[in-house]
Amino acid sequence: MAFHEKEVPANASSGEKLLAWVDSRFPLTATIKGHLTEYYAPKNFNFWYFFGSLAILVLALQIITGIFLVMHYKPDAEKAFQSVEYIMREVPWGWLVRYMHSTGASMFFIVVYMHMFRGLIYGSYRKPRELVWMFGCAIFLCLMAEAFFGYLLPWGQMSYWGAQVIVNLFSAIPLIGPDLSLWIRGDYVVGDATLNRFFSFHVIAIPLVLVGLVAAHIVALHEVGSNNPDGIEIKENLDSKGIPLDGIPFHPFYSVHDVMGVGVFAMIFAFVVFFAPEMGGYFLEANNFVPANPLQTPPHIAPVWYFTPFYSMLRATTSEFLIPMWIFAAVMFWMASRGAAMRTKAIFAGILLALGLGFHFFDAKFWGVLVMGGSVVIFFFLPWLDNSPVKSIRYRPDFHKYIYGVFVVCFVILGYLGIQPPSPTAEKIAQTCTIFYFSFFLAMPYWSKMGQFKQVPDRVIFAAH
């Protein structure tokens, strides 16, 4: 294919000539038009749609502050803690960069949780956005891995012992568990080898994957178009030029709209960084300001707050909890097999028998790891679990809103219990919340299509603001 230089008028400015030269060699203008100036988004976006752009902002912030921290950090078990103290006390503005990075980690999860919740209530995972949702879930998994690997790097007491507990969980996997945990640690105990490989994953491997997934997430989104609070596909109503009747260009309308969200976020972020960077021990624990000591275990080991809902499910899976888990699985399979062929019922019966034998041969630690992992992986299957005839919660029966509300309350309770020391009462509450958490997803094919649904309008409902 022959190369053609883009033509420009003879009286074009130097900037126009430069842009034409670039466009002849790289699709700069086409990319800007396709993903910004000529990307039409629904005109009824609301508060919930701030969090996508805020997630990109925090990702950029984490990468930039991380680069400056790496300049002074030493991934050495003997020097790591001292290097962090050096950053805080000796490096000019080092304390600010470190607090921005630690606060940014928590803010990232807050923004992502809000972003996922918006997708949940407005059905943004439904056709044709299944791949967009799956890319988003993969981003969430990578973000959890990135946060976990980075949590060890300060080499404080909670970093060391938290990593010790989490890595040892892999040993519960049958057959390959002990070798897998040994491979992850790089040694028989969490030490210098573990610190070096976690540093490599945190600084190089995971960020590369994360940036790639974010790019894929945005490209996939712009291919099928953004969802909206009404759950209406705006591409189904086009004018004579092929422009959505209910759409507006992302720039300048939503780029300016997002600037307001960024301003509010920046004020909250600055307040936390300058006045409460530890956030009462939720963002930075007091034990992490003490050097790692392999000979002294902290009285209570708990992960950072954004991991605690899943950690709480892990702790809730005890030997006594396996029986109600089997009953719960039996009920779910019975509901799924109603009206099915005998072959399907036989398969379900075989799975239940295998689960019963598994509960007998494998200890609660293994099932706890399975429950904790399953509580995250189950999000990937959400597009195929929801059988509701409408997408948005606006047009669903009222009892659906209560189910979503209880789900959020259970998630928050699990998060709170994961921070607290274990107790018999907390254990029962966590087990109840765990059962409801999985019931929300596994029973969704049934409750999502029940009730009286409201009529979805043909055009989006927009109120100027």
Instruction: Please write the tens of the pLDDT for every residue from 257-310.
Output: 899 999 999 999 999 999 999 998 889 888 889 998 888 888 778 888 999 999
Does 465 score more than 60 pLDDT?
Answer: no
305-447, what's its fold?
Answer: Cytochrome Bc1 Complex; Chain C (1.20.810)
Ligand-binding annotation for 300, yes or no, is no
Q: What is the pLDDT of residue 339?
A: 63
Does 205 score more than 90 pLDDT?
Answer: yes
Does 220 score more than 90 pLDDT?
Answer: yes
| Predicted confidence (pLDDT) per residue in 79-120, tens digit | 999 999 999 999 999 999 999 999 999 999 999 999 999 999
Does 177 score more than 60 pLDDT?
Answer: yes
Q: Is 279 left (phi over 0), alpha (psi -120 to 50) or beta?
A: left
| Predicted confidence (pLDDT) per residue in 359-368, tens digit | 666 777 888 8
Q: How far is CA 312 from CA 181, 217, 362, in A?
A: 21, 30, 20
C-alpha span between 370 and 317 (Å, rounded):
10
Structure tokens that stand for 231 in this block: 């759950």
Cβ contact 123:386 at 8 Å = yes
Ligand-binding annotation for 400, yes or no, is no
334's CB contacts (< 8 A; 6+ apart) are: 348
Confidence class for position 338, pLDDT limits 50, 70, 90 = low
- Mean residue pLDDT of the chain comes to 88
Does 464 score more than 60 pLDDT?
Answer: no
Ligand-binding annotation for 202, yes or no, is yes
Structure tokens that stand for 28 in this block: 């700069």
C-alpha span between 266 and 262 (Å, rounded):
6
Confidence class for position 69, pLDDT limits 50, 70, 90 = very high
Q: What is the CA radius of gyration of the chain?
A: 25
Ligand-binding annotation for 251, yes or no, is no
Burial of 343-377, coded b for 16+ CB within 10 Å and e otherwise, reads: eebeebeeebeebeeebeeeebbbbbbbbbeebee
C-alpha span between 349 and 215 (Å, rounded):
43
Does 348 score more than 60 pLDDT?
Answer: yes
Which CATH code is given to the segment(s) 28-237+247-289? 1.20.810.10
Ligand-binding annotation for 35, yes or no, is no
Cβ contact 436:410 at 8 Å = yes
Does 30 score more than 70 pLDDT?
Answer: yes
Lowest model confidence (mean pLDDT) among 23-32, 54-63, 325-334: 325-334
C-alpha span between 319 and 257 (Å, rounded):
52
Lowest model confidence (mean pLDDT) among 164-173, 325-334, 383-392: 325-334
| Predicted confidence (pLDDT) per residue in 2-17, tens digit | 667 777 787 888 888 8
Does 25 score more than 90 pLDDT?
Answer: no
Q: What is the pLDDT of residue 295?
A: 85
| Predicted confidence (pLDDT) per residue in 133-142, tens digit | 999 999 999 9
Secondary structure letter of residue 455 according to DSSP:
P
Q: What is the pLDDT of residue 24?
A: 84
Q: What is the pLDDT of residue 440?
A: 94
C-alpha span between 267 and 274 (Å, rounded):
11
Confidence class for position 344, pLDDT limits 50, 70, 90 = low
pTM of the predicted model as reported, rounded to 2 decimal places: 0.92
Q: 244 forms bridges with which residues in the sheet?
A: 238
The two domains 28-237+247-289 and 305-447 share their CATH topology (first three levels equal): yes
Q: What is the pLDDT of residue 50?
A: 92
Report domain extents, the chain.
Answer: 28-237+247-289, 305-447
